[in-house]
Amino acid sequence: MAVLPKARVPFTESLMSNRAEGDISARNKRFYEQSEVVDDYARQSTLWPVEAFIFERYREAIFGKCVLDIGCGGGRTTRALRELASHYTGLDYSAQMIEACRAKWPNETFVHGDASAMHQFDDRKFDFVLFSFNGIDSMSHEKRLDTLREVYRVLKPWGLFVFCTHNRDHRRIVTSIDFRDWNLMNNVRNLRSYVSVRSLQERASTYAILSDPLAGYGYLSYYIRKKDQVRQLESVGFCDIDVLSERCEFVEPARSDRRNRWFHYLARKPS
């Protein structure tokens, strides 16, 4: 999507009434169960340019293969993947999202489940795993690491894992006020969103979990630098890790980059 990293949905009293309970995972899961959010995601069908680039460049990893689409949302990436794959499975932790997908794609397999505990899938089942739309940034640090380990487990040897995540070095991270937005009401909403979740924010040496009001009221997102994300993947066992910018350019993990809001990572499971 040119598109925000998450759907910016109408600000409603139902969203506003959610209390800042639980961690980032619980808070964000409630966000994705809102009918406004589900409806917005179900309307989306366009790939990001970098996604189209990846699907073309790594076509051999998808074509005729077994594919898992984590965080499938409203089915935005379903058409592109099902046209290539021999077997497609969509997974989402929002039951409402899964129902929206089943309504659109009744002949495809959609599973309601948690990416950090994919017990329904056997070891070495999938050739290609996608976690799009910065979806991996919607969970706690601990669940994120569990998710990486689960993806590694369900991938076949030399299987490819593709995901995108927010860049902690980006020069315009918004947590409360968007100084580019001259709409006073939008910034009042942003500020109130920040106040509702600020107690859940985390700042560690290798990552940060911050209020992300531009993604939706009361939302939090995970931010990480390229070098730290590569280390995370390597610690799980992934190899041959590439990093792609929003402009479809391969970039060096060690070099700081303040221009890109997020990066795509492509990692292999050793054969």
The pLDDT confidence band at residue 22, using thresholds 50, 70 and 90, is: low
Q: How far apart are CA 123 and CA 104, in angstroms?
A: 29
Return the SS3 of 35: helix
Characterize the bridge pairing of strands 87-92 and 66-70.
parallel
What pLDDT does residue 205 have?
Answer: 97
**Among 177, 91, 98, 102, CA closest to 136:** 91
Whether residue 11 has pLDDT greater than 50: no
pLDDT digits (tens, 9 = 90+) for 30-63: 999 999 999 999 999 999 999 999 999 999 999 9
Q: What percent of the chain has pLDDT over 70?
A: 92
What pLDDT does residue 3 have?
Answer: 38
Distances, alpha carbon 107 to alpha carbons 14, 44, 52, 135, in Å: 33, 19, 24, 24
Whether residue 7 has pLDDT greater than 70: no
Whether residue 94 has pLDDT greater than 60: yes
Q: 188: which 2 tokens?
A: 């009042």
What pLDDT does residue 124 have?
Answer: 98
- How large is the average pLDDT for residues 208-221? 92
The C-alpha R_g of the chain, in whole angstroms, comes to 18
Q: Find all residues with CB under 8 Å of 64, minimum gap 6, and list them.
A: 84, 85, 86
CATH superfamily of 43-168+225-268: Vaccinia Virus protein VP39 (3.40.50.150)
Q: How far apart are CA 173 and CA 255, in angstroms?
A: 19
- Write down the pTM of the prediction: 0.92
The pLDDT confidence band at residue 214, using thresholds 50, 70 and 90, is: confident
The pLDDT confidence band at residue 258, using thresholds 50, 70 and 90, is: very high
What pLDDT does residue 191 have?
Answer: 94
Cα dihedral sign, 51-5-251-149: negative
Of 16-30, 82-96, 207-221, the range with the lowest mean pLDDT is 16-30
Whether residue 103 has pLDDT greater than 60: yes
What pLDDT does residue 49 have?
Answer: 97
The residue type of 107 is N
What pLDDT does residue 215 have?
Answer: 86
Structural contact between residues 71 and 132, judged by C-beta atoms closer than 8 angstroms: yes
DSSP state of 37: H
Please state the domain extents for the chain: 43-168+225-268
The pLDDT confidence band at residue 16, using thresholds 50, 70 and 90, is: very low
pLDDT digits (tens, 9 = 90+) for 104-148: 999 999 999 999 999 999 999 999 999 999 999 999 999 999 999
What pLDDT does residue 1 have?
Answer: 32
